[in-house]
Structure 1
Amino acid sequence: MQLSVKTDTDAYLIAPQPGLARLTRSVVGRDHTGADTTISVVEERPLTIFLNSQEIVTAMTIGDYPEYLALGFLRNQGMLRDGEDITSVDYDEDLEVVVVRTARKTNYEEKMRKKTRTSGCAVGTVFGDMMEGLENVTLPQTPVCTSWLYSLSAQINRTPSLYLEAGAIHGTVLCQGSRPLVYMEDVGRHN
Protein backbone atom coordinates (compact mmCIF):
# COMPACT_ATOMS: atom_id res chain seq x y z
CA MET A 1 0.00 0.00 0.00
CA GLN A 2 1.37 3.42 -0.97
CA LEU A 3 0.46 6.65 0.83
CA SER A 4 1.00 9.85 -1.10
CA VAL A 5 3.42 12.27 0.49
CA LYS A 6 3.90 15.95 -0.36
CA THR A 7 7.32 17.07 0.79
CA ASP A 8 8.55 20.63 1.24
CA THR A 9 12.03 19.71 0.06
CA ASP A 10 13.43 17.18 -2.36
CA ALA A 11 16.08 16.06 0.15
CA TYR A 12 13.55 14.09 2.20
CA LEU A 13 11.13 11.26 1.50
CA ILE A 14 8.89 12.88 4.13
CA ALA A 15 9.37 16.37 5.59
CA PRO A 16 7.50 18.74 7.90
CA GLN A 17 4.67 20.75 6.34
CA PRO A 18 4.93 24.12 8.12
CA GLY A 19 2.62 25.77 5.58
CA LEU A 20 -0.29 23.45 6.42
CA ALA A 21 -2.85 25.80 8.00
CA ARG A 22 -4.34 23.26 10.43
CA LEU A 23 -0.98 22.67 12.19
CA THR A 24 -0.64 26.13 13.72
CA ARG A 25 -2.81 29.09 14.63
CA SER A 26 -2.02 32.75 15.04
CA VAL A 27 -2.14 34.24 18.52
CA VAL A 28 -1.96 37.96 19.29
CA GLY A 29 0.05 38.94 22.34
CA ARG A 30 2.19 41.78 23.63
CA ASP A 31 5.96 41.94 23.35
CA HIS A 32 8.40 43.35 25.93
CA THR A 33 7.61 46.92 24.79
CA GLY A 34 3.84 46.46 25.14
CA ALA A 35 3.27 46.41 21.37
CA ASP A 36 0.88 43.90 19.85
CA THR A 37 2.63 41.01 18.13
CA THR A 38 1.25 38.02 16.26
CA ILE A 39 2.95 34.64 16.58
CA SER A 40 2.23 31.13 15.35
CA VAL A 41 1.61 28.44 17.93
CA VAL A 42 1.37 24.73 17.36
CA GLU A 43 -2.20 23.44 17.42
CA GLU A 44 -2.60 20.20 19.41
CA ARG A 45 -5.62 17.97 18.80
CA PRO A 46 -6.83 14.44 19.56
CA LEU A 47 -6.47 11.65 17.00
CA THR A 48 -8.35 8.40 17.56
CA ILE A 49 -6.77 5.29 16.06
CA PHE A 50 -8.83 2.25 15.09
CA LEU A 51 -7.51 -1.13 13.98
CA ASN A 52 -10.24 -2.67 11.87
CA SER A 53 -13.38 -2.15 13.98
CA GLN A 54 -11.63 -1.79 17.35
CA GLU A 55 -10.79 1.58 18.90
CA ILE A 56 -7.21 1.37 20.14
CA VAL A 57 -6.22 4.79 21.53
CA THR A 58 -6.75 8.53 21.32
CA ALA A 59 -3.42 10.35 21.10
CA MET A 60 -2.69 14.06 21.26
CA THR A 61 -0.91 15.19 18.10
CA ILE A 62 -0.49 18.09 15.72
CA GLY A 63 -2.08 15.98 13.00
CA ASP A 64 0.77 16.09 10.46
CA TYR A 65 0.84 12.74 8.60
CA PRO A 66 -1.83 11.12 10.82
CA GLU A 67 -1.83 7.94 8.73
CA TYR A 68 1.86 7.37 9.45
CA LEU A 69 1.37 8.11 13.14
CA ALA A 70 -1.37 5.46 13.31
CA LEU A 71 0.68 2.86 11.42
CA GLY A 72 3.77 3.55 13.54
CA PHE A 73 1.84 3.36 16.80
CA LEU A 74 0.16 0.07 15.87
CA ARG A 75 3.46 -1.43 14.70
CA ASN A 76 5.27 -0.23 17.82
CA GLN A 77 2.60 -1.84 20.02
CA GLY A 78 2.91 -5.18 18.20
CA MET A 79 -0.60 -4.91 16.76
CA LEU A 80 0.71 -4.89 13.18
CA ARG A 81 3.04 -7.74 12.29
CA ASP A 82 6.04 -7.95 9.98
CA GLY A 83 4.70 -8.18 6.43
CA GLU A 84 1.13 -7.43 7.54
CA ASP A 85 -1.37 -7.14 4.67
CA ILE A 86 -2.75 -3.64 5.25
CA THR A 87 -5.78 -3.21 2.99
CA SER A 88 -6.46 0.47 3.71
CA VAL A 89 -5.60 3.45 5.89
CA ASP A 90 -8.39 6.02 6.03
CA TYR A 91 -8.14 9.40 7.71
CA ASP A 92 -11.19 11.57 8.40
CA GLU A 93 -10.04 15.10 9.24
CA ASP A 94 -13.47 16.22 10.50
CA LEU A 95 -13.78 13.30 12.94
CA GLU A 96 -10.02 13.25 13.69
CA VAL A 97 -9.94 9.48 13.22
CA VAL A 98 -7.62 7.07 11.41
CA VAL A 99 -8.88 3.58 10.61
CA VAL A 100 -6.26 1.00 9.66
CA ARG A 101 -7.71 -2.11 8.04
CA THR A 102 -5.91 -5.41 7.62
CA ALA A 103 -6.70 -8.63 5.79
CA ARG A 104 -6.20 -10.46 9.09
CA LYS A 105 -8.99 -10.33 11.67
CA THR A 106 -7.76 -8.67 14.83
CA ASN A 107 -8.95 -8.56 18.43
CA TYR A 108 -6.81 -6.93 21.07
CA GLU A 109 -9.33 -6.80 23.95
CA GLU A 110 -7.05 -8.82 26.26
CA LYS A 111 -3.96 -6.80 25.36
CA MET A 112 -5.82 -3.52 25.91
CA ARG A 113 -6.72 -4.53 29.45
CA LYS A 114 -3.00 -4.34 30.24
CA LYS A 115 -2.35 -0.61 29.86
CA THR A 116 0.82 1.05 31.06
CA ARG A 117 0.80 4.82 31.46
CA THR A 118 4.22 6.20 30.55
CA SER A 119 5.94 9.33 31.78
CA GLY A 120 7.27 12.16 29.69
CA CYS A 121 6.11 15.49 28.36
CA ALA A 122 2.68 13.96 27.83
CA VAL A 123 1.43 10.82 29.48
CA GLY A 124 1.52 8.06 26.89
CA THR A 125 0.00 4.61 26.77
CA VAL A 126 1.53 1.26 25.87
CA PHE A 127 -0.35 -2.00 25.82
CA GLY A 128 0.20 -5.57 26.96
CA ASP A 129 3.46 -7.28 26.20
CA MET A 130 5.21 -4.50 24.29
CA MET A 131 8.20 -4.44 26.67
CA GLU A 132 8.71 -8.22 26.66
CA GLY A 133 11.72 -9.39 24.73
CA LEU A 134 13.43 -5.98 24.55
CA GLU A 135 16.27 -7.08 26.83
CA ASN A 136 17.59 -9.38 24.06
CA VAL A 137 17.46 -6.79 21.27
CA THR A 138 20.84 -5.88 19.82
CA LEU A 139 21.47 -3.21 17.26
CA PRO A 140 23.87 -3.80 14.37
CA GLN A 141 27.29 -2.21 14.59
CA THR A 142 27.12 0.76 12.21
CA PRO A 143 29.93 3.23 11.77
CA VAL A 144 29.06 6.90 12.24
CA CYS A 145 31.32 9.59 10.80
CA THR A 146 31.62 12.95 12.50
CA SER A 147 31.40 14.61 9.07
CA TRP A 148 27.93 13.05 8.60
CA LEU A 149 26.74 14.67 11.83
CA TYR A 150 27.97 18.10 10.77
CA SER A 151 26.37 17.72 7.34
CA LEU A 152 23.09 16.44 8.81
CA SER A 153 22.93 19.27 11.36
CA ALA A 154 23.38 21.86 8.61
CA GLN A 155 20.72 20.27 6.38
CA ILE A 156 18.18 19.74 9.16
CA ASN A 157 18.61 23.25 10.58
CA ARG A 158 17.86 24.77 7.15
CA THR A 159 14.78 22.61 6.49
CA PRO A 160 11.48 24.51 6.66
CA SER A 161 9.79 23.21 9.79
CA LEU A 162 7.20 23.93 12.44
CA TYR A 163 10.04 24.34 14.90
CA LEU A 164 11.45 27.22 12.88
CA GLU A 165 7.96 28.73 12.49
CA ALA A 166 6.49 28.23 15.95
CA GLY A 167 8.96 26.41 18.22
CA ALA A 168 7.74 24.24 21.12
CA ILE A 169 7.73 20.98 19.17
CA HIS A 170 9.75 17.78 19.05
CA GLY A 171 11.45 16.65 15.86
CA THR A 172 13.20 13.50 14.75
CA VAL A 173 15.06 12.64 11.57
CA LEU A 174 15.77 9.20 10.14
CA CYS A 175 19.04 9.27 8.20
CA GLN A 176 21.21 6.99 6.12
CA GLY A 177 24.82 8.09 6.30
CA SER A 178 24.85 11.84 5.69
CA ARG A 179 21.48 11.81 3.91
CA PRO A 180 18.32 12.73 5.85
CA LEU A 181 15.40 10.56 4.73
CA VAL A 182 12.40 11.29 6.95
CA TYR A 183 11.83 14.34 9.19
CA MET A 184 8.80 14.27 11.46
CA GLU A 185 7.62 16.73 14.11
CA ASP A 186 4.98 16.35 16.80
CA VAL A 187 4.03 17.54 20.28
CA GLY A 188 5.40 14.44 22.00
CA ARG A 189 8.58 12.48 21.52
CA HIS A 190 6.50 9.30 21.70
CA ASN A 191 4.65 10.31 18.51
Structure 2
Amino acid sequence: MKEFEISPNIEADDLYETVKSVDHEGNENWLSVINEKPLTIYLNKQEIVTLMTIGDYPEYLAVGYLVNQNMLRRTDSVTSIDVDEDLQVVIVRTAEETNYEEKLSRKIRTSGCAQGTVFGDVMEKFDDTSLDVSAKLKTSWIYALSKKINQQPSLYLKVGAIHGCVLCEGDRPLIYMEDVGRHNAIDKIAGYMWLNNVPAMGKLFYTTGRLTSEMVIKTVQMQIPVLISRSGFTAWGVELAKQVGLTLVGRAKGKRFQCVSGVERLVFDADPETVLEENKKHQRKGGQD
Protein backbone atom coordinates (compact mmCIF):
# COMPACT_ATOMS: atom_id res chain seq x y z
CA MET A 1 0.00 0.00 0.00
CA LYS A 2 1.19 3.52 -0.78
CA GLU A 3 1.28 6.40 1.69
CA PHE A 4 -2.18 7.84 2.37
CA GLU A 5 -4.02 5.19 0.36
CA ILE A 6 -7.10 6.86 1.86
CA SER A 7 -7.00 10.33 3.40
CA PRO A 8 -9.59 12.95 4.39
CA ASN A 9 -11.52 14.40 1.45
CA ILE A 10 -11.55 18.09 2.25
CA GLU A 11 -13.33 18.82 -1.04
CA ALA A 12 -16.44 16.86 0.02
CA ASP A 13 -18.57 19.87 0.91
CA ASP A 14 -21.42 17.68 2.19
CA LEU A 15 -19.26 16.87 5.22
CA TYR A 16 -19.42 20.44 6.51
CA GLU A 17 -21.44 23.63 6.16
CA THR A 18 -21.10 27.31 6.97
CA VAL A 19 -22.93 29.15 9.72
CA LYS A 20 -23.03 32.83 10.58
CA SER A 21 -21.17 33.80 13.75
CA VAL A 22 -20.18 36.87 15.73
CA ASP A 23 -16.64 37.02 17.11
CA HIS A 24 -15.26 38.54 20.31
CA GLU A 25 -15.07 41.98 18.67
CA GLY A 26 -18.66 41.88 17.46
CA ASN A 27 -17.72 41.19 13.85
CA GLU A 28 -19.97 38.95 11.76
CA ASN A 29 -18.28 35.99 10.09
CA TRP A 30 -19.06 32.84 8.15
CA LEU A 31 -17.73 29.83 10.03
CA SER A 32 -17.22 26.31 8.62
CA VAL A 33 -18.58 23.58 10.93
CA ILE A 34 -18.51 19.80 10.55
CA ASN A 35 -21.76 17.96 9.88
CA GLU A 36 -22.91 15.02 11.98
CA LYS A 37 -25.81 12.73 11.22
CA PRO A 38 -27.23 9.50 12.63
CA LEU A 39 -26.33 6.16 11.04
CA THR A 40 -28.18 3.02 12.13
CA ILE A 41 -26.35 -0.27 11.70
CA TYR A 42 -28.15 -3.55 11.16
CA LEU A 43 -26.61 -7.00 11.22
CA ASN A 44 -28.93 -9.01 8.98
CA LYS A 45 -32.39 -8.35 10.51
CA GLN A 46 -31.17 -7.18 13.92
CA GLU A 47 -30.79 -3.47 14.64
CA ILE A 48 -27.49 -3.05 16.47
CA VAL A 49 -26.75 0.63 17.15
CA THR A 50 -27.22 4.20 15.93
CA LEU A 51 -24.02 6.22 15.70
CA MET A 52 -23.47 9.92 15.12
CA THR A 53 -21.00 10.30 12.25
CA ILE A 54 -19.90 12.70 9.52
CA GLY A 55 -21.28 10.24 6.98
CA ASP A 56 -18.29 9.24 4.85
CA TYR A 57 -17.35 5.56 4.38
CA PRO A 58 -20.51 4.18 6.07
CA GLU A 59 -19.74 0.64 4.89
CA TYR A 60 -16.32 0.68 6.59
CA LEU A 61 -17.78 2.21 9.74
CA ALA A 62 -20.52 -0.43 9.97
CA VAL A 63 -18.25 -3.41 9.40
CA GLY A 64 -15.52 -2.00 11.66
CA TYR A 65 -17.99 -1.41 14.47
CA LEU A 66 -19.28 -4.99 14.19
CA VAL A 67 -15.73 -6.39 14.06
CA ASN A 68 -14.54 -4.39 17.06
CA GLN A 69 -17.62 -5.44 19.04
CA ASN A 70 -16.90 -9.12 18.22
CA MET A 71 -20.18 -9.34 16.29
CA LEU A 72 -18.36 -10.23 13.07
CA ARG A 73 -15.63 -12.83 13.13
CA ARG A 74 -13.19 -14.04 10.50
CA THR A 75 -15.30 -17.14 10.01
CA ASP A 76 -18.35 -15.05 9.05
CA SER A 77 -18.93 -14.41 5.37
CA VAL A 78 -20.32 -10.96 4.46
CA THR A 79 -22.58 -11.36 1.44
CA SER A 80 -23.65 -7.73 1.02
CA ILE A 81 -23.50 -4.27 2.55
CA ASP A 82 -26.48 -2.07 1.70
CA VAL A 83 -26.30 1.66 2.38
CA ASP A 84 -29.51 3.71 2.27
CA GLU A 85 -28.49 7.36 2.49
CA ASP A 86 -32.09 8.60 2.68
CA LEU A 87 -32.96 6.33 5.63
CA GLN A 88 -29.43 6.72 7.08
CA VAL A 89 -29.12 2.96 7.47
CA VAL A 90 -26.43 0.38 6.75
CA ILE A 91 -27.38 -3.30 6.59
CA VAL A 92 -24.54 -5.81 6.79
CA ARG A 93 -25.67 -9.25 5.66
CA THR A 94 -23.86 -12.51 6.31
CA ALA A 95 -24.29 -15.94 4.74
CA GLU A 96 -25.54 -17.36 8.04
CA GLU A 97 -27.05 -15.81 11.12
CA THR A 98 -24.39 -14.76 13.64
CA ASN A 99 -24.56 -15.72 17.29
CA TYR A 100 -24.86 -12.04 18.24
CA GLU A 101 -28.21 -11.54 16.58
CA GLU A 102 -29.96 -13.97 18.88
CA LYS A 103 -27.93 -12.89 21.90
CA LEU A 104 -28.70 -9.19 21.42
CA SER A 105 -32.34 -9.85 20.58
CA ARG A 106 -32.78 -11.93 23.73
CA LYS A 107 -30.97 -9.40 25.92
CA ILE A 108 -32.96 -6.46 24.56
CA ARG A 109 -36.23 -8.30 25.19
CA THR A 110 -35.36 -9.21 28.78
CA SER A 111 -33.52 -6.24 30.23
CA GLY A 112 -32.53 -3.72 27.59
CA CYS A 113 -28.85 -4.04 28.61
CA ALA A 114 -27.50 -5.17 25.26
CA GLN A 115 -24.44 -2.93 25.40
CA GLY A 116 -23.45 -4.41 28.76
CA THR A 117 -23.53 -7.85 27.17
CA VAL A 118 -21.40 -6.64 24.28
CA PHE A 119 -18.90 -5.03 26.64
CA GLY A 120 -18.57 -8.23 28.65
CA ASP A 121 -17.86 -10.25 25.52
CA VAL A 122 -15.32 -7.72 24.28
CA MET A 123 -13.46 -7.76 27.60
CA GLU A 124 -13.50 -11.56 27.68
CA LYS A 125 -11.71 -11.64 24.33
CA PHE A 126 -9.42 -8.80 25.45
CA ASP A 127 -8.22 -10.87 28.41
CA ASP A 128 -7.23 -13.70 26.06
CA THR A 129 -5.39 -11.51 23.53
CA SER A 130 -1.64 -11.60 22.98
CA LEU A 131 0.19 -9.06 20.83
CA ASP A 132 3.29 -9.49 18.66
CA VAL A 133 6.21 -9.36 21.09
CA SER A 134 8.74 -9.08 18.25
CA ALA A 135 7.29 -5.80 16.94
CA LYS A 136 9.51 -2.74 17.19
CA LEU A 137 8.87 1.00 17.24
CA LYS A 138 11.70 3.21 16.03
CA THR A 139 11.71 6.71 17.44
CA SER A 140 12.48 8.00 13.93
CA TRP A 141 9.10 6.57 12.88
CA ILE A 142 7.32 8.56 15.60
CA TYR A 143 8.91 11.79 14.40
CA ALA A 144 8.30 11.06 10.70
CA LEU A 145 4.67 10.06 11.22
CA SER A 146 3.92 13.07 13.39
CA LYS A 147 5.25 15.39 10.69
CA LYS A 148 3.55 13.68 7.74
CA ILE A 149 0.17 13.32 9.41
CA ASN A 150 0.24 16.79 10.93
CA GLN A 151 0.86 18.37 7.53
CA GLN A 152 -1.60 16.24 5.56
CA PRO A 153 -4.69 18.23 4.45
CA SER A 154 -7.55 17.24 6.73
CA LEU A 155 -11.02 18.20 7.84
CA TYR A 156 -9.54 19.04 11.23
CA LEU A 157 -7.29 21.71 9.72
CA LYS A 158 -10.19 22.98 7.61
CA VAL A 159 -13.06 23.08 10.14
CA GLY A 160 -11.85 21.54 13.45
CA ALA A 161 -14.06 19.69 15.96
CA ILE A 162 -13.05 16.29 14.63
CA HIS A 163 -10.79 13.34 15.42
CA GLY A 164 -8.27 11.57 13.21
CA CYS A 165 -6.92 8.00 13.21
CA VAL A 166 -4.23 6.61 10.93
CA LEU A 167 -3.10 3.06 10.17
CA CYS A 168 0.66 3.08 9.60
CA GLU A 169 3.50 0.76 8.68
CA GLY A 170 6.94 1.86 9.80
CA ASP A 171 7.17 5.56 8.99
CA ARG A 172 4.43 5.37 6.31
CA PRO A 173 0.86 6.54 7.01
CA LEU A 174 -1.50 4.28 5.02
CA ILE A 175 -5.16 4.84 5.89
CA TYR A 176 -6.28 8.16 7.41
CA MET A 177 -9.86 8.44 8.66
CA GLU A 178 -11.64 11.26 10.52
CA ASP A 179 -14.94 11.51 12.38
CA VAL A 180 -16.68 13.37 15.19
CA GLY A 181 -15.78 10.47 17.51
CA ARG A 182 -12.36 8.84 17.61
CA HIS A 183 -14.09 5.48 18.05
CA ASN A 184 -15.79 5.99 14.67
CA ALA A 185 -12.50 6.84 12.98
CA ILE A 186 -10.79 3.71 14.30
CA ASP A 187 -13.82 1.57 13.37
CA LYS A 188 -13.63 2.84 9.78
CA ILE A 189 -10.04 1.64 9.62
CA ALA A 190 -10.97 -1.70 11.17
CA GLY A 191 -13.71 -2.09 8.55
CA TYR A 192 -11.33 -1.26 5.71
CA MET A 193 -8.80 -3.79 7.01
CA TRP A 194 -11.47 -6.50 7.39
CA LEU A 195 -13.01 -5.99 3.95
CA ASN A 196 -9.67 -5.70 2.15
CA ASN A 197 -7.82 -8.41 4.09
CA VAL A 198 -5.16 -6.00 5.33
CA PRO A 199 -3.04 -7.86 7.91
CA ALA A 200 -2.25 -6.34 11.30
CA MET A 201 1.31 -7.72 11.18
CA GLY A 202 3.84 -4.90 10.99
CA LYS A 203 1.22 -2.17 11.51
CA LEU A 204 0.97 0.53 14.14
CA PHE A 205 -1.77 2.96 14.99
CA TYR A 206 -1.71 6.76 15.30
CA THR A 207 -4.49 8.94 16.67
CA THR A 208 -4.89 12.65 17.32
CA GLY A 209 -7.16 11.98 20.30
CA ARG A 210 -6.79 10.93 23.91
CA LEU A 211 -5.57 7.45 24.75
CA THR A 212 -8.65 6.20 26.55
CA SER A 213 -9.59 2.65 27.53
CA GLU A 214 -11.80 2.44 24.44
CA MET A 215 -8.94 3.34 22.09
CA VAL A 216 -6.69 0.78 23.77
CA ILE A 217 -9.35 -1.95 23.61
CA LYS A 218 -10.11 -1.35 19.92
CA THR A 219 -6.40 -1.29 18.98
CA VAL A 220 -5.88 -4.58 20.80
CA GLN A 221 -9.01 -6.01 19.16
CA MET A 222 -7.35 -5.25 15.81
CA GLN A 223 -4.17 -7.07 16.95
CA ILE A 224 -2.03 -3.95 16.48
CA PRO A 225 0.79 -3.80 19.07
CA VAL A 226 1.59 -0.05 18.98
CA LEU A 227 -0.66 2.96 19.63
CA ILE A 228 0.64 6.54 19.33
CA SER A 229 -1.14 9.80 20.09
CA ARG A 230 -0.54 13.51 20.10
CA SER A 231 -2.67 13.71 23.21
CA GLY A 232 -2.51 12.29 26.74
CA PHE A 233 -3.65 9.20 28.61
CA THR A 234 -6.38 8.02 30.93
CA ALA A 235 -5.39 5.86 33.89
CA TRP A 236 -7.49 2.90 32.78
CA GLY A 237 -6.14 3.16 29.26
CA VAL A 238 -2.61 2.83 30.67
CA GLU A 239 -3.62 -0.06 32.93
CA LEU A 240 -5.21 -2.01 30.07
CA ALA A 241 -2.22 -1.37 27.80
CA LYS A 242 0.14 -2.76 30.44
CA GLN A 243 -2.14 -5.76 30.94
CA VAL A 244 -1.71 -6.95 27.33
CA GLY A 245 1.70 -5.47 26.53
CA LEU A 246 0.51 -2.77 24.14
CA THR A 247 3.14 -0.12 23.42
CA LEU A 248 1.41 3.12 24.34
CA VAL A 249 3.01 6.42 23.32
CA GLY A 250 1.36 9.77 24.02
CA ARG A 251 2.03 13.51 23.94
CA ALA A 252 3.96 13.00 20.69
CA LYS A 253 4.59 16.52 19.47
CA GLY A 254 7.77 17.73 17.84
CA LYS A 255 10.70 15.91 19.45
CA ARG A 256 8.79 15.03 22.62
CA PHE A 257 6.80 11.93 23.54
CA GLN A 258 6.01 9.79 26.57
CA CYS A 259 5.88 5.97 26.52
CA VAL A 260 3.96 4.48 29.46
CA SER A 261 3.66 0.84 28.37
CA GLY A 262 5.57 -1.60 26.16
CA VAL A 263 8.76 0.44 26.31
CA GLU A 264 10.77 -2.68 25.38
CA ARG A 265 9.63 -2.23 21.76
CA LEU A 266 11.22 1.23 21.50
CA VAL A 267 14.35 1.56 19.37
CA PHE A 268 16.06 4.91 19.97
CA ASP A 269 17.50 5.48 16.49
CA ALA A 270 16.98 9.24 16.19
CA ASP A 271 18.57 12.21 17.95
CA PRO A 272 15.73 14.35 19.37
CA GLU A 273 17.89 17.45 19.04
CA THR A 274 17.76 17.13 15.25
CA VAL A 275 13.95 17.15 15.22
CA LEU A 276 12.37 20.51 14.42
CA GLU A 277 9.53 21.84 16.55
CA GLU A 278 6.12 21.85 14.89
CA ASN A 279 5.01 24.69 12.68
CA LYS A 280 2.23 26.49 14.56
CA LYS A 281 0.20 26.57 11.35
CA HIS A 282 -0.21 22.79 11.53
CA GLN A 283 -0.40 22.32 15.30
CA ARG A 284 -3.33 20.40 16.72
CA LYS A 285 -4.45 21.02 20.24
CA GLY A 286 -4.44 17.54 21.70
CA GLY A 287 -6.90 18.39 24.45
CA GLN A 288 -9.54 19.27 21.84
CA ASP A 289 -8.95 16.15 19.77
**Same fold per TM (> 0.5)?**
yes
Gaps of 5+ in 2: 108-112, 185-289
> Contact 2:20–2:28 (CA<8 Å) still a contact in 1?
yes
Shift of residue 182, structure 1, vs aligned partner? 0.9
Residue in structure 1 matched with residue 62 of structure 2 by the alignment:
70
Q: Does 1:24 find its partner at 2:16?
A: yes
> Contact 1:174–1:180 (CA<8 Å) still a contact in 2?
yes
Q: Secondary structure at the match of 2:6?
A: coil
Shift of residue 157, structure 1, vs aligned partner? 1.2
Q: How many residues align?
A: 175
Higher strand content, 1 or 2: 1
Higher helix content, 1 or 2: 2
Question: Residue 165 of structure 1 is aligned with which of 153, 158, 163?
Answer: 158
Shift of residue 32, structure 1, vs aligned partner? 2.5
Paired AA for residue 159 in structure 2: A
Residue in structure 2 matched with residue 115 of structure 1 by the alignment:
114
Question: Residue 142 of structure 2 is aligned with which of 137, 149, 156?
Answer: 149
Residue in structure 2 matched with residue 4 of structure 1 by the alignment:
none
Q: Secondary structure at the match of 1:131?
A: helix
Q: Does 1:190 find its partner at 2:196?
A: no
Shift of residue 80, structure 1, vs aligned partner? 1.0
Q: Does 1:46 find its partner at 2:45?
A: no
The TM-score with structure 1 as length reference comes to: 0.83
Distance 1:89 1:175 in 2: 26
Q: How much identity, in percent, do the aligned residues show?
A: 55
> Contact 1:171–1:189 (CA<8 Å) still a contact in 2?
yes
Shift of residue 149, structure 1, vs aligned partner? 1.1
Gaps of 5+ in 1: 1-9, 118-124
Q: Secondary structure at the match of 2:137?
A: coil
Paired AA for residue 114 in structure 2: K
Distance 2:115 2:94 in 1: 25
Shift of residue 58, structure 1, vs aligned partner? 0.7
1:42-75 deviation per Cα after TM superposition (whole angstroms, max 9, x unaligned): 1111100011122111111111211100000111
Q: Does 1:100 find its partner at 2:84?
A: no
1:14-46 deviation per Cα after TM superposition (whole angstroms, max 9, x unaligned): 211222122111111012222211111111111
Q: Which has the higher contact order (CA 8 A, sep 6+)?
A: 1
Shift of residue 127, structure 1, vs aligned partner? 5.2
The TM-score with structure 2 as length reference comes to: 0.57
> Contact 2:43–2:93 (CA<8 Å) still a contact in 1?
yes
> Contact 1:92–1:98 (CA<8 Å) still a contact in 2?
yes
Distance 2:81 2:147 in 1: 34
State the superposition RMSD in angstroms.
1.9
Divergent runs of 4+, >2 A: 109-112, 114-117, 125-128
Q: Secondary structure at the match of 2:124?
A: coil
Q: Does 1:175 find its partner at 2:168?
A: yes
> Contact 1:111–1:129 (CA<8 Å) still a contact in 2?
no
Shift of residue 84, structure 1, vs aligned partner? 2.5
Distance 1:34 1:28 in 2: 12
Paired AA for residue 43 in structure 2: L
